[in-house]
Amino acid sequence: MILTVTLNPSVDRALEVDVLVRGEVLRAADSHIDPGGKGVNVSRALLANGVRSTAVVPTGGAEGEQLVDLLNAEGVDLLSVPIAGRTRSNITVAEPDGTVTKINEAGPVLSDAEFAQVSKAVLDAAAQADWVVICGSLPPGPGIDAFTDLCSRLVGAGYRLAVDSSGPALLAGVAAGAALVKPNREELAEAVGAEPATLGDVIEACRRLRAAGAGAVLASLGADGAVLVDADGVLAGASPVSVPRSTVGAGDAMLAGFLAAGARGAEALTEGLAWGAAAVSLPGSRMPTPADLDRTQVRVTPDPDPSRPLHS
């Protein structure tokens, strides 16, 4: 079982418009509502592919109830911790050329007592889990010290921790010794203080995160695919998408596929890239099912050319 933790989940509303024009009334050609938040998406992708997962989410207010209903309707196994605040709604505006504009709310304040309840739920359930996967932004309220403490307790208890977050939360996961971190290109740049221009820059940045404590670094690079740096060495790969529809949740699908396939080596990276590419071809933050996956398009190479420039 893979336990996901989303400290700041959301109800995701995606609107498809012909062209996004500021200051105009736009008519949506299509719309979707999905349960949202990065760990929630990892659980949804795992479930859609027959991998057991439980999602820990703090939920509150009408949107919290809606999120629980949406997740129950999909059949996601839930550990919902009630909070006083209102779960956020995040908006995606998608254009036909694949351009996505996203507006995310800050999310409800999580009090110290609520964060302690969420942490307890995570630590209690972790014993049954092959991985504990903490994803997404930190809500207002718990400081970085509380988050660091949760990561350290999980690692200290011997659980395999994966962290997909940004800024201080990503660095907290690294410093706590998470077995895996999954930054995207911007998060990697922020973590090492340098914008990568080539594959070599990405590999160097991943090595720095490993030197700082992370066991493995899976860097997702949008259309440039992904790089895995771990104790076994370096792998890079990509999977082309002819008609990108929505990149929202692609990183979550990629991480889910990688974990589902054992989180190690070319096979796991191939699976992750296949799930990521499939998510990009689907609307909103819809997660791929086995019927959406095409592993034949994925190319993974060991020791890639470090001078290769990044495009996306």
Ligand X SMILES: O=P(O)(O)OC[C@@]1(O)O[C@H](CO)[C@@H](O)[C@@H]1O
Ligand Y SMILES: Nc1ncnc2c1ncn2[C@@H]1O[C@H](COP(=O)(O)OP(=O)(O)OP(=O)(O)O)[C@@H](O)[C@H]1O
Can you give the binding site for ligand Y, defined by CB under 6 A? 184, 220-223, 225-226, 239, 241, 244, 247-252, 254, 273, 276-277, 280
Residue 124 CB, nearest approach to ligand Y (Å): 28
What number of chain residues touch ligand X (CB under 6 A)?
Answer: 17
**Which one of 164, 252, 292, 294 is the catalytic residue?**
252
59 part of the interface to ligand X, by CB under 6 A: no
Q: Which CB, 8 or 119, lies closer to ligand Y?
A: 8
> Helix, strand, or coil here: 229?
strand
Binding mask 28-47 for ligand X (x = CB under 6 A): --------xxx--x------
Which of positions 280-299 make contact with ligand X (CB under 6 A)? 285
Q: H helices of 193-249, where?
A: 199-211
136 binds, among ligand X, ligand Y, none (CB under 5 to 8 A by kind): ligand X
Residue 190 CB, nearest approach to ligand X (Å): 13
CA gap 294, 40 in Å, rounded: 23
CA gap 49, 204 in Å, rounded: 33
Q: H helices of 127-166, where?
A: 144-156
Q: Which CB, 102 or 295, lies closer to ligand X?
A: 102
The correct pick among 4, 5, 12, 219 for binding ligand X (CB under 6 A) is 12
277 binds, among ligand X, ligand Y, none (CB under 5 to 8 A by kind): ligand Y
CA dihedral 198, 204, 210, 211 (to 10 degrees): -160
Residue 109 CB partners (closer than 8 Å, separation 6+): 85, 139, 140, 141
What kind and span of H or E run contains 158? none
252 flagged as catalytic: yes
CA gap 141, 194 in Å, rounded: 29
Q: Which CB, 251 or 272, lies closer to ligand X?
A: 251
- Helix 265-280 with 250-260: angle, nearest 10 deg: 150
Residue 33 CB, nearest approach to ligand X (Å): 11
Q: Which CB, 83 or 161, lies closer to ligand Y?
A: 161
Query: Which segment (25-33, 46-54, 109-117, 249-257) binds ligand X by CB under 6 A?
Result: 249-257
Tokens 């062209």 label which residue?
19
90 part of the interface to ligand X, by CB under 6 A: yes
249 part of the interface to ligand X, by CB under 6 A: yes
Residue 184 CB, nearest approach to ligand Y (Å): 3
Neighbour order of strands in the sheet with 226-230? 77-82, 53-59, 2-6, 131-135, 161-164, 180-181, 216-220, 226-230, 233-238, 299-302
137 part of the interface to ligand X, by CB under 6 A: yes
Determine the residue type at 141: G
Residue 196 CB, nearest approach to ligand Y (Å): 12
136 part of the interface to ligand X, by CB under 6 A: yes
Phi, psi (degrees; rounded to nearest 5) at 134: -100, 120
Residues lying near ligand X in the complex (CB under 6 A): 8, 10, 12, 36-38, 41, 90, 102, 104, 136-137, 248-249, 251-252, 285
Residues taking part in catalysis? 252
